[in-house]
Structure 1
Amino acid sequence: MSRNQAPRDQGVFAISVAADMVSMEIQNLRVYERRGLVLPDRTPGGSRLYSQDDIGHLHRIRELLADGLNPAGVGQVLVPGAAGAGLEERLADR
């Protein structure tokens, strides 16, 4: 990592930029946050800041939705401790 680069887990992208990066609507990102699928950092004023890791996670969410899972199913695949924990590995083996 260069001196000018933020760590992958540090929020740096505003919600509009993050939505553009993953080709999603801003409202979808808010829904995924409410469901606990992504947890962006917040500024002191409450604005969301998405990290490179968050962007990767949102890409994975989009892939799972494209594969036919609904948001609840995505949560079971991605959220640690969910009923479907470990399901992502089984899906990857398909």
Structure 2
Amino acid sequence: MGNDRQRPIFVISIAAELADMHPQTLRQYDRLGLVSPSRQGGKHRRYSEHDVDLLREIQSLSKDGVSLEGIRRIMELENQVAALRVRVGELSHEVFALRSAHQAAGQGRIFAAGSTGDVVSMARGQRPRGRSQAVVVWKPRSK
């Protein structure tokens, strides 16, 4: 289960051994915000399997010559990509719901998806306002 991989179970010495690193390196990465282990009692670090995977990824990038600041930025961008994937999934569900609603109402399937992620219904022949980067999708009704 994905949730089990997030469960903080390893003390720093075990996490360091699993990641093939020195415990002091893990403390440094924690201070830099590259890996944020849970705290037991507010003091003792507890690492999850996911945290150990991140440590291995950091180690691999570092061996490839990427600086710690570069690694931080890569991880930040990977998190943004993951969040955007979730948002795309949400928007896909909205588009499906709009399309289903239009079909149920006997209307054509016309809508616009704006650059900010908003999805709006459009009347037949209507165009998006302004110079937006909107995408308009239209599929004529079957006769």
- Which TM-score band (shorter chain)? 0.7 to 0.9
Indicate how the Cα distance of structure 1 residues 69 and 11 shifts in structure 2: closer, same or farther if over 3 A, else same. same
RMSD: 2.2
Structure with higher RCO (Cα < 8 A, 6+ apart):
1
Unpaired segments ≥5 residues, structure 2: 82-143
Percentage of matched positions with identical amino acids:
36
For these two proteins, the number of residue pairs brought into alignment is: 80
Q: Flag structure 1 segments of 5+ consecutive residues without an equivalent.
A: 87-94
Partner of 2:62: 65
Larger radius of gyration: 2
Distance of 1:39 and 1:17 partners within structure 2: 16
Aligned mate of 2:71, from 69, 74, 89? 74
Work out whether residues 37 and 79 of structure 1, in 8 Å CA contact, stay in contact via their aligned partners in 2: no
Change in CA separation of 1:28 and 1:15 when aligned onto 2, cut-off 3 Å: same
Report runs of 4+ in structure 1 exceeding 3 Å deviation.
none
- Scaled by the length of structure 2, what TM-score is found? 0.51
Q: State the alpha-carbon separation in 2 of the partners of residues 81 and 50 from structure 1.
A: 20
CA deviation after TM superposition for structure 1 residue 46, in Å: 1.0
Higher strand share: 2
Shift of 1:38: 0.4
